Amino acid sequence: MASDGDDDGIPAANGSPDASLTQDDSFTATSHAGLTYPWGDAAPGMGETIRIANGIRWARIPMPGSLGHINSWLLDDADGIAVVDTGVCLALCSDAWKALYAGALKGTPITRVIGTHLHPDHIGLAGWIAKKHGVKLWMTRGEMLTARMIVGDTSETVPDEALRQSRAAGWDEAAIERQKSEGWGRFGMMVFPLPRSYMRMKDDDRIDMGRHQWRVVTGSGHSPEHACLWNEREGVLVSGDQVLPRISSNVSVNITEPDADPLGEWLASIDKLLTLIPPDVITCPAHGEPFKGLHVRLSALRDEHRMRLYRLAEAIADTPMRAIDCFPLLFNRPIGEHNQSLATGEALAHLKRLEIEGRVRKEDRDGVWWYHAAV
């Protein structure tokens, strides 16, 4: 875990952990047809913000890795602003916050820090900002406790559970040895120490911020208890990674819950948002630009996952498959050494959903899982 010093505890970007390990980006094809972008491809520069609507401004924090940035949403509060999502614990990100303090936020108190979910690009600097300004961190219980569990795992040795899952997915011995050599505990390296206490958010909570009220809407699948924030009066949804305009969020089985059904939870969360949130809101995602067309995007995400499940079930009906055999059917980019672990988690999530739906059955053959058509 990063040091708990103020600025000295934040490592430089050079030689730092790859921010692509934050698991925000999926490897699946996705369509963003039908969306409109009221601000086009504009984005706030260093030290700048863009007003989105009454009660909310947009800042962009640069990051290394494939994503390149995270959006931070600044909510007008009674005595200042609340910060939603922060960037990873790297000087590149903390320098962007210093530029904001000297620029658009100069003289504006920070009242609270809100983490939509546990991934390091969302809470990596949450503890640093909370400590610097003497404010509380707000998260759901599922996200905070899971973050503490993962960040607190300081082992440098890859756990047996991870190696067993990789073998079960069909990894060969060379890939297993490479996994061992890469070590463990990189998640904690990207997170500044979290405060010991926090303010819990729950589904359907109303958070009063001066003249504005934000309703907590939780989802699951990408993370355990992801919090979106909905300002019903202004028609704005801060969606975090629960809805992204151009990429599909990573939905994986991982060793913390090896028998979970994250894709089932993800699809149920999409249905929940379709039922609850109006279609004409301005959606403010963690990555990409603010957009309109929420229901179009949600429907596309649901339908694309359903189509992948259909293709996968059809292929398994012809021949038994392991998780690694599913990659060409699921992903629109090559899967190599650098992304095999995340791709495996996503493939297992799709296979688990098919198992639960009674469309495939799993056979454990000497520690390797083979999936057959259900009979």
Whole-Å CA distances, 268 to 78, 233, 271, 275: 35, 26, 5, 11
Query: Considering the chain, what is the average pLDDT of its residues?
Result: 92
Contact 344, 250 (CB under 8 A): no
Q: Burial letters for 190-217: b for 16+ Cβ neighbours within 10 Å, e otherwise?
A: bbbbbeeebeebeeebebebeebebbbb
Tell whether 9 is covered by a domain.
no
pLDDT digits (tens, 9 = 90+) for 152-161: 888 889 999 9
Indicate whether this model's pTM tops 0.75: yes
Tell whether 177 is covered by a domain.
yes
* Phi, psi for residue 374 in degrees, rounded to 5: -70, 145
- State the Cα–Cα distance between residues 236 and 233, nearest whole angstrom: 8
Question: Across residues 281-293, what is the average pLDDT?
Answer: 97
Please report which confidence band the pLDDT of residue 29 belongs to, taking 50, 70 and 90 as the band edges.
Answer: very low
- Can you read off the two tokens belonging to residue 233? 């009066």
- Can you read off the two tokens belonging to residue 87? 């960037």
Split into its structural domains, the chain has a count of: 1
Statement: residue 115 has pLDDT above 90: yes
Identify the domain containing residue 238 by its residue range. 19-373
Contact 226, 217 (CB under 8 A): no
What 3-state class would DSSP assign to 137?
Answer: strand
pLDDT digits (tens, 9 = 90+) for 62-109: 998 888 999 999 999 999 999 999 999 999 999 999 999 999 999 999
Which among 22, 81, 69, 14 has a CA at the least distance from the CA of 45?
69
Which among 254, 184, 223, 206 has a CA at the least distance from the CA of 85?
223
- State the Cα–Cα distance between residues 293 and 280, nearest whole angstrom: 6
Tell whether 311 is covered by a domain.
yes
Contact 278, 54 (CB under 8 A): no
pLDDT digits (tens, 9 = 90+) for 126-181: 999 999 999 999 999 999 999 999 988 888 899 999 999 999 999 999 999 999 99
Tell whether 4 is covered by a domain.
no
Please report, as a single letter, which amino acid is at residue 99: A
Tell whether 2 is covered by a domain.
no
Tell whether 1 is covered by a domain.
no
Q: Provide the 8-state DSSP code for 16.
A: P
- CATH number for 55: 3.60.15.10
What's the pLDDT at 333?
Answer: 81
Count the Cβ atoms, other than its own, within 10 Å of residue 237.
27
Tokens 């493939």 belong to residue: 347
- State the Cα–Cα distance between residues 312 and 373, nearest whole angstrom: 10
What's the pLDDT at 7?
Answer: 55
- State the Cα–Cα distance between residues 258 and 148, nearest whole angstrom: 18
Tell whether 38 is covered by a domain.
yes
Tell whether 174 is covered by a domain.
yes
Q: Assign residue 277 a region: left if phi > 0, alpha if psi is -120 to 50, beta otherwise?
A: beta
Which among 230, 321, 211 has a CA at the least distance from the CA of 278?
230
- Can you read off the two tokens belonging to residue 3? 């040091």
